[in-house]
Chain A
């Protein structure tokens, strides 16, 4: 015995036209937390799909407890005790937490009927053991994201799980909740359960894992004990080159001219009396915890949600914004945080997505769309943002996260914005694409666009913004310039302890 529970050796997987994995080794020790790291497209999800029985490898073998196994269906993987929690949860929102936990594994009472009592009892005991503080009879749709995740974990462990794969489990969580999650992960580890942790957030990787395995373009590119690793080393392994410059330098300082003034905005659900200004060519960072009301503020400004009171002026002129259409007409663009559900039409081409807000500008005779005008606009942005598409007709669903985000940015820029609101512009995209998006944002500000960046990543806010606003419970609790801000002052304001 060498202490490894799972050994994937020499795994090769080809899809038509693409070598997704070449001769990849991946080992998981008993009770070990291993990070699987790599850019989007590096092969992480293919490897995990092989481990969970979704795909079969073309070459290579999998040892489980030293014995060679074949995983030919997800059922096989479950039965071995290999379980995965996806980034998007698979819960039935209308059912209670305990019903979800034991879904497909229900407690039968007499005559095979569902036993509510037994389930409740089992769930309570079970939640207690996992230190999950949720009433098992609460419907899932009344739980927050972090609690839903706990339910997912409990559900995964309801099967006799030996290996738990967590795909970006922290992406929707606030800092405190992440701490909580890490606590549970450590408990599981102590009970001998192995965890594969997939995340893009390097600080988390460094704090929770024992070992990091890095993939790059379908090959192993590093396997390092976490205590020997640091962010630079990991980034180098991921991208194959030094990436010291994640943030591009600014060329022009912000102008003194005020581009946008937001005055006394209040509205649902909890935004009260918010006022701020953004100057021409200035990047303002908007920090705060999940639920502080940052996205909600943006939605009030652009008219996606009707505001109760308040006004917006652009270059001194008040603009009446009741719907997103009014916002587009006022040259105010909004890039939503939820790329797939709020920004893109996944089944449509890059071309159709990019021009979605500017139909009026690309029409010709009879209000039919002029192919020539449309292509001219689309090609300009594909080139200037270097969007990697096989052609402008490529369906955006098949693009990587980073390139999808660039398509969304192109769509926002097509309306020629004076004021651009970016909501979590680098969420879920890899390090290389992040740097590119940062460079694009800096460049836009250099060219005079007023930018508001909403971000939960404090380093991003600190590096990108000229000025920082912090929100807490629907109001702005602090405003500071870049020089006087640091992670600690922002966090204090974000939790409301100023």
Chain B
């Protein structure tokens, strides 16, 4: 594809008519098309599940599924921003867990829930910023830094709790995990707010422009006079912060801070981003795509349960879907062999 397009346009003189052929919003139109394709896939999956297991399309189930999706989606938006810079964050699942635990322990110690929530958020953000500092300023590969952090953060949870869940949770706090507003679960509302802020931030802020630029070409961005290291540092902080939000909501959802909370979620979150069309090499992707990707993951998980697929198979199938998404992405971007 790419080379053909280059052919069409690699002309500088006496060929205005050629360049005029490329419609102004060709690329954004293509992007939109990409999102509508995965949206259709989502609808198709939902339809299939409904036919096999009609209980899917009940209001109660839809309510639960969207809430479940929102947990993953918030985490996915964080790792999505990291992926846009060409990085990766594997520690998000553990950050979900550790933020929930510090939030829960603070409440169990009798602190005001608002303070406890802040403590949870600070925990996630700080862990993220540590990742970011190691990646940006020490220069270690993101894969290794965050893989190590995955284990360090999870281990810290066990150290702090000796493996026991934290159960003395303030009842007033549970609303953010269990309540709803005009029939919409609170976590879904939080997800929508996060998504809108993320979208505006990425598309229209200077910081967002630079995030895409780094993923597109880090060296060119640096030579343009942009402090690349600072931005790379901060995106891991953002990823940690968003993971902490989900961690905190999960405490409220289950009325306890579980030590296994968020375990393995990096898989779902990264998969949501990739299914949503985010390029793993950075520089391309959209918030809307990530949300649809998270919805596909959530709907399939729910559908497998409703269709009474064995739990052993479910894990395999989810892994298969991720690889399938990557294959589709590869085929779509395949270039003619040169």
Contacts and interface: CB of A to CB of B under 8 A. Distances in A.
Closest 7 CB pairs between A and B? Answer: A41-B11, A328-B225, A345-B216, A391-B24, A402-B12, A400-B12, A356-B224
B210 A359 contact: yes
Interface in B204-249: 204-207, 209-210, 212-213, 216-217, 219-227
Contact of B9 (A323, A345, A398): A398
Contacts of A346: 216-217
Interface stretch (A12-20, A114-122, A204-212): A12-20
B206 A86 contact: no
Contacts of B162: none
A347 B216 contact: yes
Nearest to B5: A398
Nearest to B282: A347
A324 B224 contact: yes
Contacts of A349: 27
B204 A40 contact: no
A334 B292 CA distance: 42
Contacts of B171: none
A393 B21 CA distance: 13
Q: Chain B: interface residue count, which band?
A: 35 or more
B220 A342 contact: yes
Given A39-B13, A347-B216, A398 B22 contact: yes
B25 interface: yes
Nearest to B336: A54
Interface string B14-28: 111011111111111
B120 interface: no
Contact of A39 (B12, B200, B212, B213): B12
Interface in A128-187: none
Contact of A347 (B8, B219, B283): B283
Interface in A357-391: 357, 359-360, 363, 366-369, 388-391
B13 A393 contact: no
Interface string A384-408: 0000111101110111111100000
Contacts of A40: 10-12
Contacts of B210: 359
A275 interface: no
A135 to B, nearest CB: 30
A346 B279 CA distance: 14
Nearest to B30: A395
Contact of A343 (B25, B223, B227, B283): B223
A11 B280 CA distance: 40
A344 interface: yes
Interface in A45-72: 45-46, 49, 54-55
A15 B19 contact: no
Interface of B: 2, 4-16, 18-28, 200, 204-207, 209-210, 212-213, 216-217, 219-227, 283-284, 336-338
A325 interface: yes
Given A341-B219, A393-B24, A369 B15 contact: no
A403 B209 CA distance: 22
Contacts of A430: 12-13
B9 A217 contact: no
Given A325-B225, A369-B205, A401 B12 contact: yes
A357 B217 contact: no
A403 B213 contact: no
A411 interface: yes
A265 to B, nearest CB: 18
Nearest to A90: B338
B208 to A, nearest CB: 9
9 contacts: A39-B11, A41-B9, A341-B217, A367-B205, A393-B27, A398-B6, A398-B22, A401-B10, A415-B225
Contacts of B283: 345, 347-348
Interface residues of A, number: 68
Given A20-B7, A345-B220, A347-B216, 20 more contacts: A20-B8, A49-B338, A74-B338, A217-B15, A324-B223, A328-B224, A348-B216, A352-B209, A356-B213, A367-B207, A369-B204, A388-B16, A390-B22, A391-B24, A393-B27, A393-B28, A394-B24, A399-B9, A400-B11, A403-B12
Given A49-B338, A334-B223, A390-B21, A15 B13 contact: no
B206 A369 contact: yes
Given A359-B206, A399-B9, A400-B11, A304 B220 contact: no
Contacts of B16: 388
A341 B206 contact: no
A321 to B, nearest CB: 11
A40 B24 CA distance: 22
A348 B23 CA distance: 15
B18 A18 contact: yes
Contacts of B209: 352, 359, 369
Contacts of B207: 367
A55 to B, nearest CB: 8
Contact of A390 (B19, B28, B216, B221): B19
A319 interface: no
A336 interface: yes
A400 B10 contact: yes
A430 B210 CA distance: 32
A430 B11 CA distance: 10
B7 A397 contact: no
Given A389-B19, A433-B12, A343 B205 contact: no
A347 B212 CA distance: 10
A389 B10 CA distance: 11
A85 B206 CA distance: 41
Contacts of B213: 345, 348, 352, 356
B19 A394 contact: yes
Contacts of B19: 388-390, 394, 399
A432 interface: yes
A45 B2 CA distance: 14
Contacts of B220: 336, 341-345, 356
A389 B283 CA distance: 22
Interface string A310-342: 000000000000011101110000101000011
Contact of B337 (A20, A54, A397): A54
A15 B200 CA distance: 37
A400 B9 contact: yes
A400 B9 CA distance: 6
B17 to A, nearest CB: 9
Contacts of B284: 347
Most chain B CB inside 10 Å of its own CB: which residue of A336, A363, A391: A391
A55 B26 CA distance: 24
A398 B216 contact: no
Contacts of A415: 225
A237 interface: no
A259 interface: no
